[in-house]
Amino acid sequence: MSDPMSDQPRNNPFWSPAVAQLHPYVPGEQPKTTARLIKLNTNESPYPPSPKAQAVLTQDGLARHLRLYPDPESTELCATIAAQFDLKPEQVFVGNGSDEVLAHAFYSFFKRPEPLLFPDITYSFYPVYCQFYEIEARTLPLRNDFSIEVEDFAIEGAGGVILPNPNAPTGRYLPLADIEKLLRLHPSRVVVIDEAYIDFGGESAVALINRYPNLLVTHTLSKSHALAGLRLGYAMGQAHLIEALNRAKNSFNSYPIDGIAQKVATAAIADREWLADNCAKVIATREWTCAELAELGFDIVPSTANFIFAKPPKVSAEALFLALRERNIIVRYFNKPRISEYLRISIGTDEEMGALVAACREIL
Ligand code: PMP
């Protein structure tokens, strides 16, 4: 059988020419068993989700609700998200993971003749959506220290801008003043700020929404809320942008969020105290890990995320990746220009990061 993850265009008489040409996104490895593994490769939370979210799943009669279709508008969930961010429910859109939200955003705002702007080193799903929706991509190189220079995005005739803040896989954060500059550079095009990792120390651009009709901010429950398995992401923006996303969604799948996910996500979002505690723990472990790895001679990019991007001393990133893998520690290695000497390491528990540091010390 052919490898379904292979990136090579292939021919099959049953396939449409379009699907034969696709270069699908390749997610980080999800091993079938995590029993003996320290899994630091896909930026999940090392801790279980809020007990209030977990409690929903043990409620009596939960399964009975599955007889009916779920609320297609996720009304209660949108209202809960809106209340957390001081927005109106019509300023919120939910999707099956922020990947789905992003896919609808690409279709709704960026499918135009002009090129979409994003950094050369960024979330690798963006070029995949560009190909899927036939959107021209124009990538702008990050500076040598992996920082984003907003002036580089001052390009006339762009179809829109998207970037993660903090950026992935670098973890570098762009201050809100720079996001505002970006919004003013492209007042008649949508700027999507993908805030998948914002809860780990950054300041959200949500506060700018009511002043900028071109701003869309996306969040996920996969990282700081420890609910990657639930598949829940959301977008926030002025109502006219949310209406566009709903038009796209209702032309594709009217029921993307199952009824149980709506309930669990509503409970998770409402539990702000748990969120703050969880992020504080991850941030403390991140700072400890950075200090330890710096002492071993790693070159570490300043991180505001739940992962770090670091270049090992003495050995290549690939060699260290393989040596860690042999010790049952999985991190992420990208064999790509400019970043092939770095590893992206998700923040695990203190114990897991202790084991990582000890393994690095031994290998180096
Ligand atoms: N944006 C960025 C920058 C990410 O790293 C990820 C996780 N791979 C996502 C969005 C998608 O997250 P999810 O679909 O789990 O919400």
pTM, two decimals, is: 0.96
Q: Ligand 1 centre and the CA of 12: distance in Å?
A: 31
Domain C-terminal end among 222, 242, 270: 270
Residues 116 and 253 in one domain: yes
Q: For residue 44, which of 229, 171, 173 has the smallest C-alpha distance?
A: 229
Mean residue pLDDT of the chain comes to 95
Q: What is the pLDDT of residues 233-260, one digit of tens each?
A: 999 999 999 999 999 999 999 999 999 9
Contact 337, 272 (CB under 8 A): no
Q: Ligand 1 centre and the CA of 221: distance in Å?
A: 9
Residue 5 within a domain: no
Residue 168 within a domain: yes
Domain C-terminal end among 270, 305, 329: 270
Residue 155 within a domain: yes
Write the CATH number for 174: 3.40.640.10
Residues 132 and 253 in one domain: yes
CA pair distance 131, 151, nearest whole angstrom:
26
Q: What is the pLDDT of residues 48-78, one digit of tens each?
A: 999 999 999 999 888 888 999 999 999 999 9
Report the atom number in ligand 1 closest to the C-alpha of 194.
Answer: 1
Residues 265 and 313 in one domain: no
With a 6 Å cutoff on the Cβ, whether 256 touches ligand 1 is no
Domain C-terminal end among 224, 254, 270: 270
With a 6 Å cutoff on the Cβ, whether 164 touches ligand 1 is yes
Residue 24 within a domain: no
User: In which band, very low, low, confident or very high, does the pLDDT at 34 lie, cut at 50, 70 and 90?
Assistant: low
Question: Which protein residue has the closest C-alpha to ligand 1 atom 12?
Answer: 98
Query: Does pLDDT of 2 surpass 50?
Result: no
Question: Which protein residue has the closest C-alpha to ligand 1 atom 4?
Answer: 196
Residues 222 and 324 in one domain: no
Residue 70 within a domain: yes
With a 6 Å cutoff on the Cβ, whether 165 touches ligand 1 is no
Q: Ligand 1 centre and the CA of 76: distance in Å?
A: 23
Residues 266 and 277 in one domain: no
With a 6 Å cutoff on the Cβ, whether 271 touches ligand 1 is no
Containing domain of residue 298, as a range? 273-363
Residues 295 and 280 in one domain: yes
The tally of domains found in the chain comes to 2
With a 6 Å cutoff on the Cβ, whether 171 touches ligand 1 is no
Residues 286 and 357 in one domain: yes
Residues 261 and 280 in one domain: no
CA-based angle 198:174:192, to the nearest 5? 70
Query: Does pLDDT of 5 surpass 90?
Result: no
Residues 189 and 263 in one domain: yes
With a 6 Å cutoff on the Cβ, whether 170 touches ligand 1 is no
